[in-house]
Amino acid sequence: MSPRTPHTDRADLRADCASCFGLCCVALPFARSADFAADKPAGTPCGNLGGDFRCGIHARLRDSGYTGCTVFDCLGAGQKVSQVTFGGRDWRAEPDSARTMFAVFPVVRQLHELLRYAAEALDLAAARPVHRELRRHHDAIDALTRGDAQALLALDVPALRAEVNVLLLRASELARSGVPGRRRDHRGADLMGARLRGAKLRGASLRGAYLIAADLSGADLREADLIGADLRDADLSGADLTGALFLTQPQLTAARGDGATRIPATLRRPGHWAA
Ligand code: SF4
């Protein structure tokens, strides 16, 4: 299989809340649901956000009905917008810039997501045939994230996403081509609540699959492509996710698991999982 180095875990693609003006807690909307205890429109500060831009209930988000906050990852977009795009000037001190700052944040979040996936593909030795093109796109997007607010708002992000996605697909195929046996294709499949206990899904494509509340306990998901798969409340107890492709921390945190679940080295075991 393709050996991977932990470049995916680069520091600038990790959230640094201490350097951010609480952008995810203001810019983004959420609706009262199983994931959020209250409604909040976009551009309005959450009632739990303190004057220091810290969450007042950070240590008890799940118990307080804010599970949705525990599975969001800005991938470093918050500090990029706060410190680079707006040069450390916060929306409370400069309210005239608030609307623009809140509009820029989701744009940079999407760019950082593309950088995160591209970085992982660049870590895949088997994907070397597409590394040159990937590197070119990666570096170009990296440069775009440092543009000014108006330049960022003018970007055609769906077009950038489509270009990168072609390369990510190819990288995935190359990385999974060495998996022995039949590789299942469940791309975009509706597998909500599916009984997949012990399923042989090594090297499968589960890109964008709906796996909400699926029973994947004991499943073999080694080298499976999980980009964009919805794993909310999926049971990963005892599953093997070693070498899973494009699996993110929010996906893992949204699922259930236990001490026997094997996860990629670049991710951490969620604290709420059973021992
Ligand atoms: S509950 Fe905390 S983390 Fe969630 S949006 Fe509000 S302030 Fe932010």
Q: Both 191 and 142 in a single domain?
A: no
Q: Is 157 inside a domain boundary?
A: yes
* pLDDT-derived band at 182, boundaries 50, 70, 90: confident
Q: Is 251 inside a domain boundary?
A: yes
Q: Is 249 inside a domain boundary?
A: yes
Q: Is the pLDDT of residue 3 over 60?
A: no
Residue at a domain's end among 149, 175, 201: 175
Give residue-wise pLDDT tens across range 79-116: 999 999 999 999 999 999 999 999 999 999 999 999 99
Task: From 17, 35, 49, 71, give the residue whose CB has the most ligand 1 atoms within 8 Å, as the site to mutate.
Answer: 49
Cα(47) to ligand 1 centroid in Å equals 8
Four-CA torsion 240, 241, 242, 245, nearest 10 degrees? 160
* pLDDT-derived band at 236, boundaries 50, 70, 90: very high
* pLDDT-derived band at 9, boundaries 50, 70, 90: low
**Is any atom of ligand 1 closer than 6 Å to the C-beta of 194?**
no
Residue at a domain's end among 120, 153, 175: 175
Q: Both 67 and 159 in a single domain?
A: yes
Residue at a domain's end among 175, 209, 238: 175
Cα(68) to ligand 1 centroid in Å equals 9
Q: Both 43 and 76 in a single domain?
A: yes
Give which of 174, 172, 162 is closest to 229, Cα–Cα: 172
d(CA 25, CA 40): 9
Range of the domain at 85: 11-175
* pLDDT-derived band at 181, boundaries 50, 70, 90: confident
Give which of 223, 194, 220 is closest to 209, Cα–Cα: 194
Q: Is 1 inside a domain boundary?
A: no
Q: Both 165 and 202 in a single domain?
A: no
Compute the mean pLDDT over every residue in the chain, rounded to the nearest whole number: 94
Q: Both 161 and 205 in a single domain?
A: no
Query: Residue 243: its pLDDT value, please?
Result: 95
Q: Both 82 and 198 in a single domain?
A: no
Q: Both 191 and 258 in a single domain?
A: yes
Q: Is 94 inside a domain boundary?
A: yes
Q: Is 215 inside a domain boundary?
A: yes
Q: Would you say the C-alpha torsion 2, 242, 203, 68 has a positive or negative sign? A: negative
Q: What is the mean pLDDT of residues 50-73?
A: 94
Query: Residue 65: its pLDDT value, please?
Result: 96
Query: Which residues lie below 8 Å from residue 10, measured CB to CB, with a gap of 6+?
Result: 119
How many structural domains are present in the chain?
A: 2
Query: Residue 274: its pLDDT value, please?
Result: 82
Q: Both 84 and 195 in a single domain?
A: no
Query: Residue 1: its pLDDT value, please?
Result: 46
* pLDDT-derived band at 8, boundaries 50, 70, 90: low
Question: Which one is predicted more confidently, 7 or 245?
Answer: 245
Q: Both 58 and 132 in a single domain?
A: yes
Residue 256 maps to which CATH number?
A: 2.160.20.80
Which atom number of ligand 1 is nearest to the Cα of residue 22?
8
Give residue-wise pLDDT tens across range 63-78: 999 999 999 999 999 9
Residue 47 amino acid letter: G
Q: Is 15 inside a domain boundary?
A: yes
Question: Which one is predicted more confidently, 222 or 6?
Answer: 222
Q: Both 84 and 127 in a single domain?
A: yes
Q: Is the pLDDT of residue 16 over 90?
A: yes
Query: Residue 266: its pLDDT value, please?
Result: 87
Q: Both 198 and 150 in a single domain?
A: no
Q: Both 150 and 247 in a single domain?
A: no
Task: From 24, 35, 48, give the residue whose CB has the most ligand 1 atoms within 8 Å, as the site to mutate.
Answer: 48
Q: Is 200 inside a domain boundary?
A: yes
